[in-house]
């Protein structure tokens, strides 16, 4: 047992202004979470005894319980994602079932559920604000989806399923991380990596040094290739050595699909349990459960995916023809039989030739400090906010992490956020994400203030600084930072004070990507891009002709890139609607079947991409990957409001930006997203702006 002393000094249990990320360690997790759950259990029992269908006696005490758990669990879960250790993993794994058990107990509380139903059915219902009505309806719906209405034995079965699913998704993502880390290819002969740019060679040498080859340099090697994105992508784009590309591609594609790290059985079990859960709740399949909290229905999602697929197919077929012809003209032996490990390489060559753009030559124009300055400048223009460095105000988990304060036009702080930019393959999961630390809340305000301010994380995995050079980014990495900042803005600029529906909370999942994808559009806006693109050594601005080429290249291979996303979305829906776990068709058969209509080059028979498809097996996108496309329709249409107003008319841009801030960014989960969109745009969304931006409009006409 943990002693009273160790409990009282446990950083997870302190009242903190900002989480003590610098001192929380694996050994705090077991005693800290257990003591917290004990406290919350007592608070829940007290609430159930005293609950009344009123805000102070129902919602406020409930929010305190939900918030405390999400803040503390969020803290250790975040550390697992950015500073993973075997000890931290083991500790989280041990207490996780206890945490899930408490969440189920809370979500299935009959007295709380009945109190919410009473509020919903009372004559005072119409006097509640729209945000409060949404909050009540969300609580009732969540309770139903967490099994409140099930008989005791059914509820027990449901709870077992929830526990098992939580465990499986953690195991899935650990296997992906471990499999990604496991692959290392040491190269000593420079001929093998011909074509790779200096930035990649510098990164490979840095990786070799970290593995004990202390004399490794970019020029003389040795070079260590891993499956981490900043390492994997340059190999696929630039390595002239076709067999190296094949080896790295096959390794990437088969991650977590064999031996101790094989996710195949885990996927089958996840799908089986999700289907059982859906049936217990009275749904036909898991996709219907997923859609119960989204804007779309299964039919509407299918309809959109098919419409976009038809618009993308012929352009994608043409993309491949163009590549074959180009490779043939370059005298490539493989021109007539281009396959998966050739596409990225030859696309990059064709892009360089067609638009005379070399990704690597652009890097010096995109140094991280300049990119962030321009991003914050854009936020000031559009939304009237100032983002100022606040390093040292809050503890951080790594010395590379930056901390910022967001201020309104009067100079008052309205939010804070952390930014962790660089790839750290040994301890940090790949990808990029934004998450909440605190949500805005009236109930959780500290003494002396009327509201607790929102705090967010932004995490990326971009190329770290090499030697004395700053982090020099690819254009895609620039888009990623803009994307994650869009999510953060919706969390931070909310004006909603009801904590359970503030910021990104309670926003239908298929609308969540709207502000993030909206922000990406600004990377192509001339004034914005020119304010970013300054050479890190000379300060010279990106030449005008290069900007024009970047703009022209925006629709390069748009059909192929669109199909790729549509394939992910379609296979996700298929697995959660028509697939029968344990039936005659395997998960890989489903993948192959979907690919017939969504991949111009059929996947390899041994393709195992599903084994690392974390979005749907370890993230929140199960039967929801279509949300990216759904929200892309919304975001392209939202950006077209700025195009209609005139992108060069600064007054019109500011007015439209203010309207975007007051609707999409301010209303949070307190209003239905379709209503919020109509309030901003003046009409319902249309897919036309998306097809136009992607150069696919003619194909769909």
pLDDT in tens, 276-313: 999 999 999 999 999 999 999 999 999 999 999 999 99
Does residue 635 contact residue 518 with C-beta atoms inside 8 Å? yes
Residue ranges, CATH 1.20.1050, the chain: 4-128
Give the pLDDT of residue 448: 86
Is 79 exposed, middle or buried (CB count within 10 Å of its CB: 0-12, 13-18, 19+)? buried
Instruction: Note if the bond before 222 is cis, omega within 30 degrees.
Output: yes
Mean pLDDT within 495-519: 95
Dump pLDDT digits (tens) for 87-134: 999 999 999 999 999 999 999 999 999 999 999 999 999 999 999 999
From CA 101, how far away is CA 108, in angstroms rounded? 10
Mean pLDDT within 492-503: 97
Residue 250's pLDDT band, with cuts at 50, 70 and 90, is very high
- Find all residues with CB under 8 Å of 260, minimum gap 6, and list them: none
CATH class of the structural domain 260-355+558-625: mainly alpha
Q: Say yes or no to pLDDT of 243 above 50.
A: yes
Residue 425's pLDDT band, with cuts at 50, 70 and 90, is confident
- 271-306 core/surface letters (b: 16 or more CB in 10 A; e: else): bbbbbbbbebbebebbbbbbbeebbbebeebbebbe
Mean pLDDT for the chain? Answer: 95
The H or E element spanning position 455 is strand 455-462
Give the pLDDT of residue 8: 83
Give the pLDDT of residue 359: 82
Cross-strand pairs, 457: 418, 435
| pTM assigned to the model | 0.88
Q: Say yes or no to pLDDT of 699 above 70.
A: no
- Find all residues with CB under 8 Å of 454, minimum gap 6, and list them: 415, 416, 436, 438, 439, 440, 491, 492, 494, 502, 503
* The token pair that represents 410 in the structure block: 């009067």
Q: Say yes or no to pLDDT of 2 above 80.
A: no
Where in 539-667 does DSSP place strands (E)?
Answer: none
- Find all residues with CB under 8 Å of 389, minimum gap 6, and list them: 402, 403, 404, 405
CA-based radius of gyration for the chain? 25
* The token pair that represents 380 in the structure block: 């000031």
* The token pair that represents 575 in the structure block: 């697995």
Does residue 699 contact residue 315 with C-beta atoms inside 8 Å? yes
Is CATH 1.10.12 the classification given to domain 4-128? no
From CA 406, how far away is CA 456, in angstroms rounded? 11
Tell whether the torsion through CA atoms of 18, 23, 28 and 29 is positive or negative: positive
403: phi then psi, degrees, rounded to nearest 5: -125, 135
From CA 28, how far away is CA 308, in angstroms rounded? 49
Of the chain, the end-to-end C-alpha distance in Å amounts to 69
Residue ranges, CATH 1.10.1370.10, the chain: 260-355+558-625
Dump pLDDT digits (tens) for 11-48: 999 999 999 999 999 999 999 999 999 999 999 999 99
- Find all residues with CB under 8 Å of 588, minimum gap 6, and list them: 607, 608, 610
Does residue 427 contact residue 46 with C-beta atoms inside 8 Å? no
Helix, strand, coil shares, percent, the chain, to 5 = 60, 5, 30
Mean pLDDT within 447-474: 93
Q: Say yes or no to pLDDT of 3 above 60.
A: no
- 137-173 core/surface letters (b: 16 or more CB in 10 A; e: else): ebbbebbbbbbbebeeeebeebbebbbbbebbbbbbb
What percent of the chain clears pLDDT 90, i.e. is strictly above it? 93
Q: Say yes or no to pLDDT of 1 above 50.
A: no
Q: Say yes or no to pLDDT of 143 above 80.
A: yes
3-state secondary structure of 416: strand
Query: To which residue do tokens 């993309």 refer?
Result: 319
Mean pLDDT within 329-337: 95
Instruction: Single out the residue of 366, 363, 695 nearest to residue 551, CA to CA.
Output: 695
CA angle 507, 513, 517 (to 5 degrees): 150
Instruction: Name the CA dihedral angle for 86, 90, 92, 97, rounded to a multiple of 10 degrees.
Output: 150
- 375-402 core/surface letters (b: 16 or more CB in 10 A; e: else): bbbbbebbbebbbeeeeeebbbbeeebb
Mean pLDDT within 371-397: 97
Does residue 457 contact residue 435 with C-beta atoms inside 8 Å? yes
Cross-strand pairs, 436: 456
From CA 571, how far away is CA 590, in angstroms rounded? 7
* The token pair that represents 361 in the structure block: 């030559």
Tally helices (H) and strands (E) across the chain.
Answer: 28, 7
As a residue count, the chain comes to 701
Residue 5's pLDDT band, with cuts at 50, 70 and 90, is low
Q: Which residues are annotated as catalytic? A: 484
398: phi then psi, degrees, rounded to nearest 5: -155, 145
Q: Say yes or no to pLDDT of 701 above 90.
A: no
Mean pLDDT within 427-450: 94
Q: Say yes or no to pLDDT of 461 above 80.
A: yes
What is the CATH architecture of 363-546? Orthogonal Bundle (1.10)
3-state secondary structure of 312: helix
Give the pLDDT of residue 7: 81
Q: Say yes or no to pLDDT of 700 above 50.
A: no
3-state secondary structure of 587: helix
Residue 430's pLDDT band, with cuts at 50, 70 and 90, is confident
Dump pLDDT digits (tens) for 351-379: 999 998 888 889 999 999 999 999 999 99
């Amino acid at each position: 047992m943990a002693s009273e002393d160790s409990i009282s000094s446990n950083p997870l249990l302190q009242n903190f202004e900002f989480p003590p990320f610098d001192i929380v360690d694996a050994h705090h997790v077991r005693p800290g979470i257990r003591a917290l759950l004990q406290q919350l259990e007592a608070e829940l029992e007290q609430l159930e005894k005293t609950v009344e269908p009123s805000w102070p006696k129902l919602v406020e005490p409930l929010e305190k319980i939900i918030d405390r758990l999400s803040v503390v669990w969020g803290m250790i879960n975040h550390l697992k994602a950015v500073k993973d250790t075997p000890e931290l993993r083991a500790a989280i794994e041990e207490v996780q079932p206890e945490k899930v058990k408490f969440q189920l107990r809370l979500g299935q509380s009959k007295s709380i559920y009945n109190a919410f139903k009473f509020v919903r059915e009372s004559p005072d219902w119409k006097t509640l604000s729209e945000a409060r009505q949404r909050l009540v309806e969300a609580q009732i719906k969540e309770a139903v989806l967490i099994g409140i209405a099930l008989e005791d034995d059914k509820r027990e079965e449901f709870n077992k399923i929830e526990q098992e699913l939580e465990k499986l998704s953690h195991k899935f993502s650990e296997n992906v991380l471990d499999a990604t880390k496991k692959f290392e290819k040491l190269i000593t002969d420079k001929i093998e990596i011909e074509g790779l740019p200096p930035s990649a060679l510098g990164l490979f040498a840095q990786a070799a040094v970290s593995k004990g080859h202390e004399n490794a340099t970019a020029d003389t090697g040795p070079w260590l290739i891993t499956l981490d994105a900043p390492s994997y992508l340059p190999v696929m784009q630039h390595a002239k050595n076709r067999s190296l590309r094949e080896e790295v591609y096959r390794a990437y594609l088969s991650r977590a699909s064999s031996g101790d790290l094989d996710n195949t059985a885990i996927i089958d079990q996840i799908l089986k349990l999700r289907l059982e859960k859906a049936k217990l709740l009275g749904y036909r399949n898991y996709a219907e459960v997923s859609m119960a909290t989204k804007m779309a229905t299964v039919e509407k999602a299918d309809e959109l995916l098919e419409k976009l697929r038809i618009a993308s197919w012929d352009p994608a077929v043409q993309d491949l023809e163009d590549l074959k012809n180009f490779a043939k003209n370059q005298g490539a032996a493989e021109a007539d039989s281009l396959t998966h490990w050739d596409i990225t390489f030859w696309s990059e060559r064709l892009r360089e030739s067609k638009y005379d753009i070399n990704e690597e030559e652009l890097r010096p124009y995109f140094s991280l400090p300049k990119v962030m300055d321009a991003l914050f400048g854009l936020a000031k223009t559009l939304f009237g906010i100032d983002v100022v460095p606040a390093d040292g105000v809050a503890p951080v988990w790594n010395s590379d992490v930056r901390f910022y304060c967001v201020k309104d036009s009067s100079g008052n702080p309205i939010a804070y956020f952390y930014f962790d930019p660089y790839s750290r393959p040994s301890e940090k999961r790949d990808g990029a994400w934004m998450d909440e630390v605190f949500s805005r809340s009236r109930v959780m305000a500290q003494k002396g203030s009327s509201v607790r301010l929102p705090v967010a994380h932004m995490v990326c995995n971009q190329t770290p600084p090499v030697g004395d050079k700053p982090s020099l980014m690819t254009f895609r990495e620039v888009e990623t930072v803009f994307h994650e900042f869009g999510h953060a803005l919706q969390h931070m600029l909310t004006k909603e004070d009801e904590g359970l529906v503030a910021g990104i909370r309670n926003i239908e999942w298929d609308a969540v990507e709207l502000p993030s994808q909206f922000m990406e559009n600004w990377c192509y806006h001339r004034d914005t891009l020119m304010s970013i693109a300054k050479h890190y050594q000379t300060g010279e601005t990106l030449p005008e002709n290069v900007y024009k080429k970047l703009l022209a290249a925006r629709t390069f291979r748009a059909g192929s890139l669109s199909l790729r996303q549509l394939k992910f979305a379609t296979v996700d829906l298929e697995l959660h609607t028509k697939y029968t776990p344990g039936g005659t068709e395997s998960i890989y058969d489903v993948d192959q079947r979907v690919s017939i209509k969504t991949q111009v080059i059929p996947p390899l028979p041994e393709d195992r991409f599903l084994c690392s498809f974390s979005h749907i097996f370890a993230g929140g996108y199960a039967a929801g990957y279509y949300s990216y496309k759904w929200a892309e329709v919304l975001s392209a249409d939202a950006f077209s409001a700025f195009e209609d107003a005139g992108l060069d008319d600064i007054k019109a841009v500011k007015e439209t930006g203010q309207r975007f801030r007051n609707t999409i960014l301010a209303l949070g989960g307190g209003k239905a997203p379709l209503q919020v969109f109509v309030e901003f745009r003046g009409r319902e969304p249309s897919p036309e702006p998306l097809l136009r931006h992607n150069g696919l409009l003619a194909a769909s006409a």
